[in-house]
Amino acid sequence: MNLLGLLSAVGAATCWGTFFVPVRKVRVVDIWQLQGATGIGVILFAIPVGFLWGFQILPSGLLSGAIWTAGNILALYSVRLIGLSRTSPFLAGFSVLVSFLWGILYFNEKFNYIFLAIIAVGLLLGGLVFISNTSKNQPVQKKGYLIAVASGLVGGSYVIPLQAAHSLQAGFFSSSLSIFAIGIPLLLFSRKFAKKEMIAGTLSGCLFNVGSLAVLIAVGLIGITVAYPISQTATLFAISWGVLYFREIIHRQGIFRIITGAVLILCGAALITIA
- Summarised one tens digit per residue, pLDDT across range 28-41 is 889 999 999 999 99
pLDDT band at 140 (very low <50, low <70, confident <90, very high): low
pLDDT band at 125 (very low <50, low <70, confident <90, very high): confident
pLDDT band at 119 (very low <50, low <70, confident <90, very high): confident
Which residues have CB under 8 Å from 272's CB, separation 6+?
100, 116, 117, 120, 121, 124, 225, 226, 229, 230
Contact predicate 93/261, CB 8 Å: no
- Residue 72 clears pLDDT 90, i.e. is over it: yes
- Residue 157's alpha-carbon distances to 68, 127, 139, 263, 273, in angstroms, are 8, 21, 28, 25, 20
Residues recorded for the chain: 275
Averaged pLDDT for residues 40-52 = 94
Q: pLDDT averaged over the chain? A: 85
pLDDT band at 143 (very low <50, low <70, confident <90, very high): confident
Averaged pLDDT for residues 69-85 = 91
